[in-house]
Amino acid sequence: MATEKLSAIELQGIANNIREDIIRMLEHAGSGHSAGPLGLADIFTALYFDILKHDPKQPDWPERDILLLSNGHCVPVRYATMARAGYFDRDELMTLRQLGSRLQGHPERLRLSGLENTSGPLGCGLSQACGMSLAMRMDGQQGRWIYVVMGDGEQDEGNVWEAAMLAGKYKLSNIIAITDRNNIQIDGPTENVMPLESLKAKWQAFGWHVLEIDGNNIDAVIEACAMARAVTEQPVMILAYTVPGKGVDFMEYDFHWHGKPPNKEEAKKALHELRTLGGKIRSEHE
Amino acid sequence: MSDFGLRSLHTEMESEPIRKGFGRGLLEAGKRWNNVVAACADLTDSTQMSLFAEAFPERFVEIGVAEQNLVTVGSGLAAMGKIPFVSSYAAFSPGRNWEQIRTTICLNDRPVKIVGSHAGVSVGPDGATHQMLEDLGLMRVLPNMVVIAPCDSIEAEKATVAMAQHPQPNYVRLAREATPVITTADTPFEIGPAYVLKPGQDVSLVATGTMTYHALKAAEELKRDGINAEVVHVPTLKPLDTATLVKSITRTGAVVTAEEGQINGGLGSAIAETVAEYCPAPLVRIGMPDRFGESGKPDELLAHFGLDAKHIRLAAHHALDRKGKH
């Protein structure tokens, strides 16, 4: 459990190191998703190194906050962040997607302590958060938060909106969902594949309190989660606008990088670029 | 009454919908264990979950008509230590939400109890859309899933209480119409075993759910034909009690299966797999012959599709004819 707060510069450095690990893991695995995990590095850094109440040495700590990853294909960012946070040794990251590895291509709870759910097929994370929140309410548990990281493309799934309705109905205010709004999915830009906008109005209409932030700004992520925890009587959706492939110029904004890994040459180029950023990823809004 | 505490079959038998037994069992489980909770997709009364919902409103979640959400919310409830029973019509759950069950319950290994009511053609006038016939096959292929089809309301009550203590995901199949009550409070039930309800040596009649009554009836009719049939009731389709079944079929040398579901994928398939692998013998399957049902009265439909004692008897004769030729 993190005892002292890290500075913004330190957190940015960690996020950048996580990006480097993501590139190495994916290149070594030879398959997997690049854009989403890179774009989510700042959000995961903020969660594991500042926001979450957790203990890497005691993953089942009963008072821990819950982090559900709904769009399971982005799990490389979770593995890389968990390793940095001390859940397991970083060397193990290179076993991603290999036979016998605890780091499955899509996350399997039973394989690795610290994962809260098994996901990959899209649209199920929020429902599980609802079930967890309802159970906590039945038990009179307070002060535990359930964070759900979701994709934007997965909001094509009807299951998401079934959960949205339920959370609104029961006012599940300890759920804080974060949408990785990077505007891409496998077949192309989200608004071409299946228009999602206006996402803000949709979530509001389902009874949610909605915040909008720059999802590559770690401070903004931390601040939004603090604001979200102060909201009572409503679940909170943080629409986090991110850059897919963030930090690697040739991957940024290009939907072709949604579902493929870098090859050796591309990885070399990406790592060089990440290193020459001086250990910092700056949000373009800064 | 036989050794199993069964009632004797007669024309004026007491009948009760199997789902009523589930309702009582869930209420009982709720009284015994605080972590038993329930969720329903807008069919609380129909599935008989209402008894529990009225007794424990704070432990009941109304999901609305959203079966995908039903089972995934169940997965989340189980993650926090609850034993969630989630109910709907079998046509919708597990009919509509199979992938969610596969990933968030089975692969994730959460002890969610999926309750599929109104299974089989005996749903009657609602017609094919609501007559779930594929649920046993859908659930039987899933790792970690345990599949239960009680034969009457008393067994359903026992099964429900047993499910509340079972550590794995479970599916239980219920029927809408009144089904003859053939067991008593004294009839043994555990999740797992198959039960030889009536011993015999000529042919094994292997049945599950609502068809077990018809198999017992067929055995009485076969007796008049000079055939001593053994009736094996299989309330747990998965894991299958292979030992009991192989023992019976090896001894009789012929087998008929009977279920109120598709002939492919359910009990008949499970027994065919077992027979082919361990004890080859003539086998005749009774079930829906790879087609959908239609509107009608329950009894009329069962007779129309050959899901009754008469057809089990005929099937036994077929199996015996083939046994003779071996």
Span A155-183, pLDDT tens digits:
999 999 999 999 999 999 999 999 999 99
The closest of A260, A120, A247 to A186, measured between CA atoms, is A260
- B36: Cα separation from own chain's centroid: 22
If residue A16 lies in a helix (H) or strand (E), which one and from where to where? helix A8-29
Interface of B with A in 27-46 (CB under 8 A): 37
B67-79 vs A158-169: helix crossing angle, rounded to 10: 60
Of the pLDDT bands very low, low, confident and very high (cuts 50, 70, 90), residue B12 is confident
CATH architecture type of domain B195-325 = 3-Layer(aba) Sandwich (3.40)
Q: What is the DSSP string of A196-261?
A: ---HHHHHHHTT-EEEEEETT-HHHHHHHHHHHHT--SS-EEEEEE--TTTT-TTTTT-GGGSS--
| Shortest alpha-carbon distance between residue A274 and chain B (Å) | 36
Minimal CA separation from B191 to chain A, in Å: 25
Percentage with pLDDT > 70 across chain A: 95
Q: Which of A121, A131, A169 sits opposite B103 (nearest CB)?
A: A121
- Residues B179 and B207 sit within 8 Å (Cβ to Cβ): no
Residue A135 to residue B59, Cβ atoms within 8 A: no
DSSP H helices, B193-256, are: 211-224, 242-252
Nearest to B110 by CA among B86, B90, B141, B138: B86
A75-85 vs A35-46: helix crossing angle, rounded to 10: 40
B143 contacts chain A (CB < 8 A): no
List, in order of start, the domains of chain A with CATH numbers.
8-276 (3.40.50.970)
Q: Give me the pLDDT at residue B3, please.
A: 63
Contacts of B231 (CB under 8 A, 6+ apart): B196, B197, B198, B200, B205, B207, B212, B215, B216, B219
Answer yes or no: CATH 3.40.50.970 is held by domain B15-180: yes
Instruction: Report, as an integer, the average pLDDT of B315-325.
Output: 92
End-to-end C-alpha distance for chain A, whole angstroms: 30
Residue B7's pLDDT is 86
Instruction: Quickly state the pLDDT bin for A4 (edges 50, 70, 90).
Output: confident
- Exposure class string for A253-278: b at 16+ Cβ within 10 A, else e: bebebbebbbeeebbebbbebbeeee
| Catalytic site residue from B28, B67, B155, B260 | B67
Which letter, b or e, does each residue of A200-209 get, where b requires 16 or more Cβ atoms within 10 Å of its Cβ? eebbeebbbb
CB < 8 Å to A128, chain B: 72-73, 75-76, 79, 104
Instruction: Check CB contact of B303 with chain A, cutoff 8 Å.
Output: no
3-state secondary structure B119-174: ECHHHCCCCHHHCECCHHHHHHCCCCCEEECCCCHHHHHHHHHHHCCCCCCEEEEC
B108 contacts A123? CB cut-off 8 A: no
With a CB cutoff of 8 Å and minimum separation 6, the contacts of B166 are B111, B146, B191
Residue A281 has pLDDT above 60, yes or no: no
Residue A283: pLDDT over 70: no
pLDDT at B325 > cutoff 80: no
- A22 touching B (Cβ < 8 Å): no
> Is B2 a residue whose pLDDT tops 60?
no
Cβ–Cβ contact B58 with A under 8 A: yes
Given an 8 Å threshold on Cβ–Cβ distance, is A131 in contact with B100? no
Cβ contact A108–B107 (<8 Å): yes
DSSP type of residue B21: H
Query: Do residue B103 and residue A118 have CB atoms under 8 angstroms apart?
Result: yes
DSSP label at residue B191: S
- Residue for token digits 């998401």? A160
Cβ separation A136–B66 shorter than 8 A: no
In this complex, which of A129, A139, A159 lies closest to B76 when CB atoms are compared?
A129
- Exposed e or buried b for every residue in A105-119, given b needs 16+ CB within 10 A? bbbbbeebebbbbbb
Across the range B163-169, mean pLDDT stands at 98
Residue A111, chain B, CB below 8 Å: the answer is: no
Q: Within 10 Å of residue B193's Cβ, how many Cβ atoms? A: 15
For chain B, residues classed under CATH 3.40.50.970 are 15-180
d(CA B109, CA A111): 11
A–B interface: beta-carbon pairs under 8 A = 98
Task: Convert the pLDDT of each residue in A25-74 to its tens digit.
Answer: 999 999 999 999 999 999 999 999 999 999 999 999 999 999 999 999 99
Asked if the C-beta of A129 comes within 8 angstroms of chain B's C-beta atoms, the answer is yes
Q: What is the pLDDT of residues B180-205, one digit of tens each?
A: 999 999 999 999 999 999 999 999 99
> β-pairing, B146-148 with B236-238?
antiparallel
Model confidence at B263: pLDDT above 90: yes
Share of chain B above pLDDT 90, in %: 95
Least confident of A5-9, A155-159, B273-277: A5-9
Q: Taking CB atoms and an 8 Å limit, are A128 and B80 in contact across chains?
A: no
Q: What ipTM describes this predicted complex?
A: 0.94
Closest Cβ opposite residue B75 in set A131, A136, A169: A131
Nearest by CB to B68, from A108, A133, A162: name it: A162
Sequence-ordered list of residues with C-beta below 8 angstroms from that of A74, at least 6 positions apart, any chain: A33, A36, A37, A40, A149, A151, A180
Q: Does A136 touch chain B (CB under 8 A)?
A: yes
- Are B104 and A130 in contact (CB < 8 Å)? no
- B135, B95 Cβ separation under 8 angstroms: yes
Cβ-Cβ contacts under 8 Å, A164 against chain B? none
A112-155 pLDDT, tens digit per residue, is 999 999 999 999 999 999 999 999 999 999 999 999 999 999 99
| pLDDT mean over B228-232 | 98
Angle among Cα A76, A78, A80 to the nearest 5 degrees reads 65
* Set of chain B residues whose Cβ sits within 8 Å of the Cβ of A207: none
Tell me which chain B residue has its CA closest to the CA of residue A163: B69
Residues of chain B with CATH 3.40.50.920: 195-325
| Distances, alpha carbon B179 to alpha carbons A104, B197, B325, in Å | 47, 17, 37
Question: How high is the pLDDT of residue B8?
Answer: 83
B157 is known as an active-site residue? no
In chain B, the percentage of residues whose pLDDT exceeds 70 is: 98
Average pLDDT, chain A: 94
> Given a cut of 50, is residue A279 above it in pLDDT?
no
**CA separation for the pair B296, B174 (Å, rounded):** 19
Across residues B168-182, what is the average pLDDT? 96
CA atoms within 13 A on the CB side of B287: 28
Is A104 in CB contact (< 8 Å) with chain B?
no
At residue A170, φ and ψ (nearest 5 deg) are: -90, 5
**What rounded mean pLDDT belongs to chain B?**
96
The pLDDT of residue B304 is: 97
Q: List, for residues A17-27, the tens digit of each pLDDT value.
A: 999 999 999 99
Average pLDDT for A200-205: 98
